[in-house]
Structure 1
Amino acid sequence: MIHPHTYIHPNARLAQNVKIDPFTVIHHDVEIGEGTWIGSNVTIMEGVRIGKNCRIFPGAVLGATPQDLKYNDEKTYVEIGDNTTIREFVTIHRGTNDRWKTKVGNNCLVMAYSHIAHDCIIGNNCILSNSSQVAGHVIMGDWAIIGGVCAVQQFSRIGQHSYIGGGSLVNKDVPPYIKAVRTPLSYGGVNSVGLKRRGFTLEQINQILDIYRIIYNKGMNVSQALEFIEEEFPATDERDEIVTFIRESGRGVIKRHTKGGSDED
């Protein structure tokens, strides 16, 4: 299952049924889970942990040192969850002493030419479309989707079940369950289609819609809106996730689109 033209360091730890194609290089202190396939011309550097049944396509580079001048050769890691697919020429860098690791969860799809920088935490079931560029320290919640050719600034947070339209610059936090679109990036409604596909009930979706109407359409400031939501809406996981996310946002969340912006829509 391992081609003779592949180099594997003697202390790399490979589980059963790992398949590695020719001209791939596996450095020391690497762990690869059972059933994973690694294509040709892949470079997996030290400190990488890859789960079970992953697919790593040709040209990917995992575990290179971070592009951070503060990095001082400390021992850090990249962790890739089970059943995750990493397409051609993706780069994922190790962490720094901020989080000590960069992590991509289970069942993710990272499409070709995407980059995930140091100390990012990508949740489960996420999709990063072609040429997504994610800077350091970004947190991305479960089931979030980034459209193609997006740029996410460092320290941004992307909420669970959110969708970001292709070609966007993400320089504010994106709350959970919404669509983020236009230029500058703005609230574009609730991601109702995605939520239905994932089994959310109509009652859950309607509550999310009502909460975001308060936040974006009623003319309240953020503090007023969150207080109103906590007083007037019954406690649910979705309500609490939205309130906590916005309250803990350090750089603020994206705003509602207003006329006069650069987007003609």
Structure 2
Amino acid sequence: MKRKYLLLFVLSLPLFLSSCTVVYKSTGDVLLGYAEDHGVPYMLASNDVALGCSMAEAFTPFLSSFSRVTAPPDQLAVLFYLVAGNCIEAEAQEQELRYLRAIYAKNSTEAQDARIAQQRLLEIAAHRQLTGYYSLVAAQTEPGGECPEFDSDNTELFWLFGLLNGIQAILNDIASGGNIEVPLDIAAKVGRGAACLDNEKWWGVPAAIQSAIWIVIPGNNSAGSNPRSNLQQSLEIGAQQGMSVSHVLAAQVYLGQGEITEVKQIIRSYASLSKQAADNQE
């Protein structure tokens, strides 16, 4: 009798496992569809940065795990890795402030510890953003070649997110000491990929990406172009449309170049823009 039940169990096991796979797949499809249709718009519309960070860092591995049972959520991964990387950048900035306080207090041990912590966090940020860039490659195509045929504004937006992943991965890898070894040829690919987007439509960000690349890695710009002037124009376009993405990118670039006066001016402009946005919401 025991052998009979054992044989029945063995014969039914494949059917049971296959039914679990079907359940996992359908569950994954539903959750990924919900995340793209409702979760992402909600996160982008929120002005609570901490909650956005919590959502991105918690859901990124969870949603990515469904690639084991259904189509990989590469397009969603582009955004989630971008946000998760930016969240780590914010932690790195706190460590930089700790470093400056230690320098002011003439505490060399504390300053060294803060600088090491900052570089480690920037290393994590660069790794996440590089993963987001490669997710764009998997979801659409490798930037730098022919422009893809965008079937919607949403597809263009995720293309823009992927390009931001690429340029920020390079910037943070340089700032962390180059431990991730982000391929520098990504810069040229991202620059050409930015030309696939309408600069006015997307808040001046495509031109800001190109200008950032030309400033950080000289020699990539076309003859006769002025990357700093182009970057300033991108800031003005973003300000006119109430979008500050170019401001954040410009601040990163000038901070990396050690141009503190420019960084302060961008922060003032960003603060004014943020106040206007808050007043408009009220």
TM-score relative to the length of structure 1: 0.29
The structure where strand makes up a greater share of residues is 1
Higher relative contact order (CA 8 A, sep 6+): 2
Larger radius of gyration: 2
The structure where helix makes up a greater share of residues is 2
